[in-house]
C-alpha cells in the first residue's frame, strides 16, 4: 500500500495488489470468453457437419431405404467410414457445447445436465468405433448417447431458460428438446407397428435380417423417426451454441 497525491492535492491510498488482481480478472474473463466463443462455433460447425454427413449417406448408399432402415445400418454398406465421421462429429458437437455453456450454468441441475451432455457426446463418439456389428459396444453407445442427450437437453433448456440472457432462446430450446424425445417415442411406436404388420403378412414369421424392400401391407416409418431424432438433437445443439456464442461475444467486447 502506498499513498499518492490526487489532482486536488488530496492524499489517496493506492493498492497495487488490487490493481494487479483486477487486471488478472479481466484477462481471465477475456480468455474464458474466447474459449466459449470458439467452443460454441465448433459445436455449431460439428452439428451442421453431422447433418450433412447423414444427408450424404442417403445419396452414397441408396440401397438403404430411409423409411425403415436405421441410421446405424449404413455401417453395413460401402460407406461405413462416412457414418463413423458423422457419429464423431455428433460427439464433438456435444462436447464443444458443454464447454461453451459451462460458465453459463449455475444450478446443480444444470451442472448435472452438462455432465449428461458430456456422457451423450461419449456415446455418440463411441458409436463411431463400435458400429452395429459390435452388439455390446453399440448398445452401450446408444444408451449413453440417447439417454444422456434426452435428459440433458430438457434439463439444460429449463435451467438456461431461467436466466435473463437466455429468455429469447428458451422457447426454441424447449421445442427442440421435446421434439427430440417425441421422435424417440415415435421410433418405438413405429417399430412395434411394423413388427405387428410383418407378423400379420408373413403368418408370424419375422425376417432374420432387414429386407431390402417391405412387403405390401407393411408400413415403414421408423427410419424417418430415427432421422428426425438426429435432426432435432443437432438443431438443439445449434440453437444453444448460437446463443452461447452471442453471449460470449458480448462478454468479450465489454472487457
202-233 pLDDT, tens digit per residue, is 776 666 677 777 777 778 889 999 999 999 99
Q: Say what the pLDDT of residue 56 is.
A: 97
3-state secondary structure of 3: strand
Determine, yes or no, domain membership for 171: yes
Per the domain annotation, does 202 fall within a domain?
yes
| Percentage of the chain exceeding pLDDT 70 | 84
- Quickly count: other Cβ atoms within 10 Å of residue 41's Cβ: 17
Tell me: pLDDT of 90 over 90. Answer: yes
Report, as an integer, the average pLDDT of 247-254: 75
14 assigned to some structural domain: no
Asked whether residue 11 is domain-assigned, the answer is no
- Domain limits at 220? 26-253
Structural domain count, the chain: 1
Quote the CA–CA distance of 114 and 97 in Å, as a whole number.
9
Phi, psi of 142 (to 5 degrees): -65, -45
Q: Is the pLDDT of residue 7 over 60?
A: no
pLDDT at 121: 97
pLDDT in tens, 138-155: 999 999 999 999 999 999
- With respect to residue 179, please indicate whether it lies within any of the assigned structural domains: yes
Is 5 part of any domain? no
In tens, the pLDDT along 51-71 reads 999 999 999 999 999 998 999
CA distance 153 to 146: 11
* Any domain includes 164: yes
Residue 102 domain-assigned (yes or no): yes
pTM of the predicted model as reported, rounded to 2 decimal places: 0.85
Residue 45, number of CB atoms within 10 A of its CB: 16
Specify the range with the lowest mean pLDDT, choosing from 12-16, 129-133, 188-192.
Answer: 12-16
Amino acid at each position: 500500500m502506498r499513498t499518492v497525491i490526487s489532482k486536488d492535492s488530496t492524499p489517496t491510498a493506492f493498492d497495487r495488489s488490487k490493481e494487479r488482481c483486477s487486471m488478472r480478472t479481466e484477462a481471465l474473463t477475456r480468455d474464458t470468453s474466447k474459449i466459449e466463443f470458439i467452443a460454441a462455433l465448433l459445436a455449431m460447425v460439428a452439428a451442421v457437419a453431422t447433418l450433412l454427413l447423414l444427408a450424404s449417406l442417403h445419396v452414397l448408399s441408396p440401397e438403404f431405404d430411409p423409411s425403415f432402415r436405421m441410421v446405424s445400418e449404413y455401417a453395413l454398406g460401402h460407406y461405413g467410414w462416412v457414418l463413423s465421421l458423422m457419429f464423431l462429429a455428433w460427439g464433438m458437437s456435444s462436447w464443444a457445447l458443454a464447454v461453451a455453456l459451462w460458465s453459463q450454468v449455475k444450478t446443480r441441475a444444470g451442472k448435472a445436465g452438462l455432465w449428461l451432455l458430456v456422457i451423450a457426446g461419449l456415446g455418440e463418439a463411441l458409436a463411431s468405433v463400435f458400429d452395429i456389428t459390435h452388439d455390446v459396444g453399440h448398445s452401450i453407445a446408444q444408451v449413453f448417447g440417447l439417454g444422456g442427450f434426452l435428459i440433458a437437453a430438457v434439463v439444460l433448456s429449463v435451467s438456461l431458460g431461467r436466466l435473463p440472457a437466455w429468455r429469447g432462446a428458451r422457447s426454441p430450446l424447449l421445442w427442440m428438446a421435446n421434439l427430440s424425445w417425441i421422435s424417440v417415442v415415435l421410433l418405438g411406436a413405429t417399430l412395434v407397428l411394423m413388427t405387428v404388420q410383418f407378423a400379420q403378412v408373413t403368418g408370424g414369421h419375422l425376417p432374420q435380417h432387414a429386407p431390402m424392400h417391405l412387403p405390401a401391407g407393411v408400413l415403414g416409418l421408423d427410419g424417418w423417426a430415427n432421422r428426425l431424432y438426429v435432426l432435432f438433437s443437432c438443431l438443439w445443439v445449434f440453437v444453444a451454441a448460437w446463443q452461447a456464442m452471442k453471449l460470449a461475444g458480448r462478454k468479450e467486447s465489454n472487457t
